[in-house]
Amino acid sequence: MAYAVLKQGREGRARARHPWVYEGEIDVVAGDPKPGDIVDVVDHRKRFLGRGFINPVSSITVRILTWIEEEEVNEEFFYRRLTEAREYRKVVAAGASCYRVVFSDGDFLSSLIVDRYDDVCAVQTAAFGTDVRKTMIVGMLADILGVSKIYERNDVRSRELEGLPLQSGFMMGQFPTAFWAEENGFSFWVDVERGQKTGLFLDQRENHKAIAPWCEGARVLDAFCYTGGFAIHAAGYGARQVLAIDSSGAALEIARLTADKNGLGDRISFREGNAFDVLRELEARRERFDLVIIDPPAFAPSKRTIEAAYRGYKEVNLRAMKLLAPGGVLVTCSCSYHMRPEVFLQMIADAAADAGRSARLVELRSQARDHPILLGVDETHYLKCAVLRMS
C-alpha cells in the first residue's frame, strides 16, 4: 500500500485523531497513489497513524477514515460505517422523517453528506475519495435506508479545490425534485435541486422546536427568515403575530405558501428587505416584540473575515435587543465556523452592553444531534444558537 510520511514534529494533529492531513504536514508520498486511492499515514519513523484516501491536488491531501491498523478500507468498511450512521439516527432523530443521515467527519466518513427527506435522499461527495466511490455508496444507501430516490447535490464550491466538477442530477430513480415534507409536525417545501444546502436547514430542526416555550401569545420578529423555518414554528407554537423578514423575494414566496399550507397565514406577515435596514426602521418607530429571532447567513466564510463578521453580528444583535420588550427573549444564531462559541458569546455581551440591556443566557445550543460534533475536530462544530432573556 502507498503511504504518506509526515514531517517530524508535524504528527500532532494526526495523533490526536484529526482526520485532515494537510499538504504542508507531509514529507513524502511513497508508492505513486492516484487521486482517491487508499493510503497509510505514518510518522517519520514509519509508525502507523491512520488510513484514508488521498488527493495530491488538494490542500487537504489525505482524509483519514480509520486509526486502526488492522482495519481495511474496502466495501465492507463503507457499508459498516453507513449502517452505524443510520443506527445512530434511530436514536437521535427518532420519529423524524427528515434528517441528516451522514455528517462527514462527524460520522467518520470525511466529505460525505447524506440528507433524507421522507423517501428521497440527497447526496454530496465533496472530495475525490468519496466521489470516485459514489456509485457504490448510493447502492449501499438504497439497501440500508430502503430508498429508491437519490439525488446528487454536488454543486458545492469546495469540490473545485479537489479538482472535481460541479454537478447535480438523479443518481437513482426519477422523481419530482420539489415536494412537501414534514419537520416537527409542520409541512415545509423542499427543493433538493435548487434549495439551500440540500433542500432544508436540517441543522436547525431541534432549535426550531426549542423556541416553543417562548411563543404562546407572543409578538415575534424573525429576521433572515428564508423560507420561514422559525416563523412557521413560532406561529404554530401559539404566537399571536409574526413578522418575518428576508431579502429574497423568491424565498418569501415559498414562506407564504408554507404559512398557508400549515393554516398559519393569518398570523404571519412577510416583508422583503435588508434585515439591518428594517430593524433600524422598526426601532425608529419604537416597535416592540416579545421574541426576536436572528438567523443570518454566514458572515465569516474565512478566518480573515472574522473581524468584519464580528461587527456585523454585533450590529444586528444590538438592533434586535433594542426591539425587545423588557423580559423579552432573543434567539440568535451563527453558522460561521470561524465564529467560535466563546467569541460568539463575547459578541452578544458586547452588543448587550452597547444596547444598555442585561442579557441572561438561558441556553447555548448547537446544530441538531444528527449533525454530530467530533471533539478535537472544531470544523464539525459550526452552528451556535443562543437563547437569552433580556432585561
pLDDT tens digits for 202-260? 999 999 999 999 999 999 999 999 999 999 999 999 999 999 999 999 999 999 999 99
Order of strands, sheet of 38-42, starting from the edge strand that comes earlier in the sequence = 20-22, 60-66, 48-54, 38-42, 3-6, 26-30
Q: Which residues, other chains included, contact 302 with Cβ-Cβ below 8 Å and sequence gap of 6+?
A: 338
For the segment 265-317, what is each residue's pLDDT rounded down to a tens digit? 999 999 999 999 999 999 999 999 999 999 998 886 777 888 888 999 999 99
- Of 46, 191, 51, nearest to 110 by C-alpha is 51
> Considering the chain, what percentage of its residues have pLDDT values greater than 90?
94
Q: How far apart are CA 61 and CA 144, in angstroms?
A: 30
pLDDT for residue 287? 96
DSSP-derived 3-state class of residue 21: strand
The grid coordinates listed for 189 are 417545501
Quickly state the pLDDT bin for 1 (edges 50, 70, 90).
Answer: confident
Q: What is the mean pLDDT of the chain?
A: 96
Q: What's the 3-state SS for 88-130?
A: HHHHHCCCCCEEEEEEHHHHCCCCEEEEEECCEEEEEECCHHH
Task: Answer yes or no: 385 catalytic.
Answer: no
Neighbours of 161 (CB within 10 A): 15
How many residues comprise the chain?
A: 391
- Of 306, 310, 308, 300, nearest to 349 by C-alpha is 310
* CB-count burial class (<10 Å; 0-12, 13-18, 19+) for 17: middle
φ/ψ of 352, rounded to 5, equals -65, -40
Residue with cell 453528506: 113
Q: Which of 121, 215, 333, 335 is catalytic?
A: 335
Assess contact for 121 and 390: CB atoms under 8 A. no
Helix then strand then coil, in percent of the chain rounded to 5, is 35, 30, 35
Neighbours of 149 (CB within 10 A): 20
Taking 90 as the threshold, does the pLDDT of residue 35 lie above it? Answer: yes
